[in-house]
């Protein structure tokens, strides 16, 4: 029996890529994230996360 670890040499990334490397500064996804970050969702979080 061997102690070798089988690897998949076709794996593209060992670590998750950064979205910052893939999206331009003016990409729509960045705008959406910025808008969502500004929303006050504290009431929603209190309702949904207190149940668990």
pLDDT tens figures, 15-48: 778 888 889 999 999 999 999 999 998 888 888 7
Q: Are 23 and 29 spatial neighbours (Cβ–Cβ below 8 Å)?
A: yes
CA distance 5 to 7: 6
Tokens found for residue 11: 């794996």
Residue 3 has pLDDT above 90, yes or no: no
pLDDT class for 50, splitting at 50, 70, 90? low
Both tokens of 16, joined, read 């998750």
Say how far apart CA 48 and CA 33 lie, in whole Å.
21
């Amino acid at each position: 029996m061997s102690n070798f670890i089988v690897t998949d040499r076709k794996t593209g990334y060992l670590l998750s890529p950064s979205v910052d490397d893939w999206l331009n500064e003016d990409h729509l996804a960045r705008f959406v994230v910025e808008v969502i970050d500004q929303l006050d969702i504290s009431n929603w979080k209190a309702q949904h996360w207190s149940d668990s």
